[in-house]
Structure 1
Amino acid sequence: MYTTILLQTGGGSSLTSMLPFLLMFVVIYFFMIRPQMKKAKNEKAFQSSIAKGNKIVTSSGIHGKIVDIVDSDNTVIVETGAGKIKFERSAISMDLSKKYSAPADKK
Protein backbone atom coordinates (compact mmCIF):
# COMPACT_ATOMS: atom_id res chain seq x y z
CA MET A 1 0.00 0.00 0.00
CA TYR A 2 2.80 2.41 0.88
CA THR A 3 4.56 1.72 -2.38
CA THR A 4 1.44 2.66 -4.36
CA ILE A 5 1.13 5.96 -2.48
CA LEU A 6 4.82 6.64 -3.00
CA LEU A 7 4.51 5.89 -6.71
CA GLN A 8 1.47 8.16 -7.02
CA THR A 9 3.33 11.09 -5.47
CA GLY A 10 6.15 10.65 -7.93
CA GLY A 11 8.62 9.17 -5.50
CA GLY A 12 10.56 12.44 -5.36
CA SER A 13 11.68 14.27 -2.27
CA SER A 14 9.33 16.61 -0.48
CA LEU A 15 11.67 19.54 -1.15
CA THR A 16 11.31 19.32 -4.92
CA SER A 17 7.54 19.10 -4.62
CA MET A 18 7.46 22.15 -2.33
CA LEU A 19 9.87 24.20 -4.45
CA PRO A 20 7.21 25.81 -6.70
CA PHE A 21 5.21 26.94 -3.66
CA LEU A 22 8.31 28.38 -2.03
CA LEU A 23 9.22 30.23 -5.20
CA MET A 24 5.69 31.64 -5.47
CA PHE A 25 5.90 32.90 -1.89
CA VAL A 26 9.27 34.56 -2.53
CA VAL A 27 7.95 36.27 -5.66
CA ILE A 28 4.82 37.47 -3.86
CA TYR A 29 6.92 38.77 -0.98
CA PHE A 30 9.32 40.77 -3.17
CA PHE A 31 6.72 42.14 -5.59
CA MET A 32 3.74 42.75 -3.29
CA ILE A 33 4.40 42.59 0.44
CA ARG A 34 7.81 44.30 0.68
CA PRO A 35 6.91 47.36 -1.47
CA GLN A 36 3.69 47.83 0.51
CA MET A 37 5.60 47.77 3.80
CA LYS A 38 8.14 50.26 2.42
CA LYS A 39 5.35 52.58 1.25
CA ALA A 40 3.67 52.46 4.67
CA LYS A 41 6.98 53.25 6.39
CA ASN A 42 7.59 56.25 4.10
CA GLU A 43 4.03 57.49 4.66
CA LYS A 44 4.44 57.30 8.44
CA ALA A 45 7.74 59.19 8.25
CA PHE A 46 6.11 61.86 6.06
CA GLN A 47 3.22 62.33 8.47
CA SER A 48 5.58 62.73 11.42
CA SER A 49 7.66 65.31 9.51
CA ILE A 50 4.74 67.68 8.96
CA ALA A 51 5.47 71.12 10.45
CA LYS A 52 3.85 74.54 10.78
CA GLY A 53 4.07 76.68 7.68
CA ASN A 54 4.21 73.79 5.19
CA LYS A 55 2.10 74.14 2.09
CA ILE A 56 0.22 70.88 1.65
CA VAL A 57 -2.41 69.05 -0.38
CA THR A 58 -4.91 66.80 1.34
CA SER A 59 -6.06 63.46 -0.02
CA SER A 60 -9.33 65.12 -1.07
CA GLY A 61 -7.39 67.71 -3.13
CA ILE A 62 -7.66 70.75 -0.84
CA HIS A 63 -4.61 73.00 -0.97
CA GLY A 64 -3.58 74.97 2.08
CA LYS A 65 -0.97 75.95 4.62
CA ILE A 66 -0.56 74.35 8.04
CA VAL A 67 -1.32 76.92 10.74
CA ASP A 68 -1.28 74.76 13.87
CA ILE A 69 -0.54 71.17 14.88
CA VAL A 70 -2.59 69.62 17.68
CA ASP A 71 -0.59 66.61 18.89
CA SER A 72 -3.08 65.49 21.52
CA ASP A 73 -5.66 64.34 18.97
CA ASN A 74 -3.31 63.93 15.96
CA THR A 75 -4.88 66.72 13.91
CA VAL A 76 -3.65 69.77 12.05
CA ILE A 77 -5.36 73.05 11.29
CA VAL A 78 -5.02 74.04 7.64
CA GLU A 79 -5.66 77.52 6.30
CA THR A 80 -7.30 77.47 2.88
CA GLY A 81 -8.87 80.13 0.71
CA ALA A 82 -12.20 79.50 2.42
CA GLY A 83 -10.88 79.65 5.99
CA LYS A 84 -9.34 77.33 8.55
CA ILE A 85 -10.19 73.61 8.47
CA LYS A 86 -9.20 70.85 10.89
CA PHE A 87 -7.78 67.67 9.29
CA GLU A 88 -6.30 64.41 10.52
CA ARG A 89 -2.58 63.99 9.81
CA SER A 90 -3.37 60.91 7.74
CA ALA A 91 -5.47 63.04 5.36
CA ILE A 92 -2.41 64.99 4.19
CA SER A 93 -1.03 63.42 1.05
CA MET A 94 1.62 65.78 -0.31
CA ASP A 95 3.96 68.53 0.88
CA LEU A 96 4.24 71.34 -1.65
CA SER A 97 6.58 73.60 0.33
CA LYS A 98 9.64 71.51 -0.59
CA LYS A 99 8.59 71.44 -4.22
CA TYR A 100 8.27 75.22 -4.50
CA SER A 101 11.21 76.16 -2.27
CA ALA A 102 13.74 74.50 -4.60
CA PRO A 103 15.34 76.92 -7.07
CA ALA A 104 14.04 76.72 -10.61
CA ASP A 105 16.38 75.24 -13.18
CA LYS A 106 16.95 77.95 -15.83
CA LYS A 107 18.31 77.10 -19.25
Structure 2
Amino acid sequence: MDFLISPALAETGAAAGPSMLDFAFPIILLVLFYVMLIRPQQKRAKAHRQMQSALAKGDEVVTDGGLMGKILEINDNAISVQIAENVEVKVRREAISAVLPKGTLKKL
Protein backbone atom coordinates (compact mmCIF):
# COMPACT_ATOMS: atom_id res chain seq x y z
CA MET A 1 0.00 0.00 0.00
CA ASP A 2 3.04 2.28 -0.05
CA PHE A 3 2.27 3.29 -3.64
CA LEU A 4 -1.01 4.95 -2.52
CA ILE A 5 0.18 6.58 0.71
CA SER A 6 3.70 7.82 1.22
CA PRO A 7 5.23 6.45 4.41
CA ALA A 8 6.10 9.04 7.03
CA LEU A 9 9.85 9.33 7.17
CA ALA A 10 11.93 11.44 9.48
CA GLU A 11 13.32 14.40 7.61
CA THR A 12 16.98 14.12 6.90
CA GLY A 13 19.27 16.96 6.04
CA ALA A 14 17.99 17.33 2.47
CA ALA A 15 14.26 17.40 1.82
CA ALA A 16 13.22 14.39 -0.22
CA GLY A 17 11.25 15.46 -3.29
CA PRO A 18 8.28 13.62 -4.75
CA SER A 19 9.12 10.38 -6.49
CA MET A 20 8.33 9.55 -10.09
CA LEU A 21 5.62 7.13 -8.93
CA ASP A 22 3.74 10.02 -7.31
CA PHE A 23 3.28 11.56 -10.77
CA ALA A 24 2.91 8.37 -12.78
CA PHE A 25 -0.10 6.93 -10.93
CA PRO A 26 -2.55 9.79 -11.70
CA ILE A 27 -1.32 10.00 -15.27
CA ILE A 28 -1.86 6.27 -15.78
CA LEU A 29 -5.38 6.61 -14.32
CA LEU A 30 -6.18 9.44 -16.73
CA VAL A 31 -4.92 7.46 -19.72
CA LEU A 32 -6.96 4.40 -18.69
CA PHE A 33 -10.05 6.58 -18.19
CA TYR A 34 -9.65 8.00 -21.69
CA VAL A 35 -9.01 4.64 -23.36
CA MET A 36 -11.79 2.74 -21.59
CA LEU A 37 -14.56 5.37 -21.34
CA ILE A 38 -14.14 8.49 -23.44
CA ARG A 39 -12.78 7.07 -26.72
CA PRO A 40 -15.42 4.31 -27.16
CA GLN A 41 -18.20 6.81 -26.49
CA GLN A 42 -16.78 9.16 -29.12
CA LYS A 43 -16.69 6.31 -31.67
CA ARG A 44 -20.33 5.39 -30.94
CA ALA A 45 -21.44 9.02 -31.25
CA LYS A 46 -19.59 9.40 -34.58
CA ALA A 47 -21.18 6.21 -35.96
CA HIS A 48 -24.64 7.42 -34.86
CA ARG A 49 -24.14 10.81 -36.56
CA GLN A 50 -23.05 9.07 -39.77
CA MET A 51 -26.10 6.79 -39.65
CA GLN A 52 -28.40 9.78 -39.18
CA SER A 53 -26.86 11.71 -42.05
CA ALA A 54 -27.24 8.68 -44.37
CA LEU A 55 -30.99 8.27 -43.75
CA ALA A 56 -33.03 8.19 -46.94
CA LYS A 57 -36.66 7.97 -47.95
CA GLY A 58 -37.82 4.34 -47.89
CA ASP A 59 -35.39 3.18 -45.18
CA GLU A 60 -36.84 0.98 -42.46
CA VAL A 61 -35.88 2.31 -39.03
CA VAL A 62 -36.31 1.79 -35.29
CA THR A 63 -36.87 4.80 -33.03
CA ASP A 64 -35.60 5.23 -29.49
CA GLY A 65 -39.11 4.44 -28.26
CA GLY A 66 -39.10 1.10 -30.06
CA LEU A 67 -41.40 2.04 -32.96
CA MET A 68 -40.49 0.37 -36.23
CA GLY A 69 -41.49 1.92 -39.51
CA LYS A 70 -40.61 3.16 -42.96
CA ILE A 71 -39.37 6.68 -43.66
CA LEU A 72 -41.80 8.65 -45.82
CA GLU A 73 -40.37 12.14 -45.62
CA ILE A 74 -37.19 13.72 -44.27
CA ASN A 75 -36.94 17.34 -43.13
CA ASP A 76 -34.09 19.13 -41.38
CA ASN A 77 -35.20 18.22 -37.85
CA ALA A 78 -38.14 15.83 -38.26
CA ILE A 79 -38.75 12.58 -40.08
CA SER A 80 -42.16 11.18 -41.02
CA VAL A 81 -42.31 7.46 -40.30
CA GLN A 82 -45.13 5.17 -41.40
CA ILE A 83 -45.68 2.64 -38.62
CA ALA A 84 -48.84 1.02 -40.08
CA GLU A 85 -51.25 1.50 -42.97
CA ASN A 86 -52.50 5.10 -42.86
CA VAL A 87 -50.63 5.73 -39.58
CA GLU A 88 -47.82 8.22 -39.80
CA VAL A 89 -45.81 9.77 -36.97
CA LYS A 90 -43.23 12.52 -36.94
CA VAL A 91 -40.11 11.95 -34.90
CA ARG A 92 -36.97 13.98 -34.41
CA ARG A 93 -34.02 12.96 -36.50
CA GLU A 94 -32.02 12.22 -33.34
CA ALA A 95 -34.71 9.73 -32.19
CA ILE A 96 -33.79 7.22 -34.91
CA SER A 97 -31.67 4.59 -33.19
CA ALA A 98 -31.07 2.05 -35.97
CA VAL A 99 -31.66 1.34 -39.64
CA LEU A 100 -33.13 -2.09 -40.37
CA PRO A 101 -32.31 -4.26 -43.40
CA LYS A 102 -34.79 -3.92 -46.27
CA GLY A 103 -37.83 -6.16 -45.93
CA THR A 104 -37.61 -6.58 -42.16
CA LEU A 105 -41.02 -5.02 -41.54
CA LYS A 106 -42.74 -7.40 -43.95
CA LYS A 107 -41.30 -10.41 -42.13
CA LEU A 108 -42.77 -9.33 -38.79
Same fold at TM > 0.5: yes
Q: CA deviation at 1:94?
A: 1.0
CA apart distance, 1:4: 3.9
1:52 to 47, 50, 57: 57
Pair 1:96-2:100 in alignment: yes
Question: Counterpart amino acid of 2:75?
Answer: V
Unmatched 5+ stretches in structure 2: 1-9
Distance in 2 separating the partners of 1:69 and 1:42: 20
- Helix, strand or coil at the partner of 2:90: strand
Tell me the secondary structure at the aligned position of residue 61 of structure 1.
coil
Number of aligned positions between the proteins: 93
Instruction: Name which of 77, 81, 95 aligns with 2:80.
Output: 77
Q: CA RMSD in A?
A: 2.4
Unpaired runs of 5+ residues, structure 1, are 101-107
Query: Percent same amino acid among aligned pairs?
Result: 35
Aligned to 2:29: 24
CA 1:98–1:28 in structure 2 vs 1: closer, same or farther (change >3 Å)?
Answer: farther
In the superposition, the TM-score normalised over structure 1's length comes to 0.76
C-alpha offsets along residues 50-99 of structure 1, whole Å, 9 cap, x if unaligned?
Answer: 1100011111111100000012xx11000111601000011111111358
User: When you count helix as a share of all residues, which structure comes out higher?
Assistant: 1
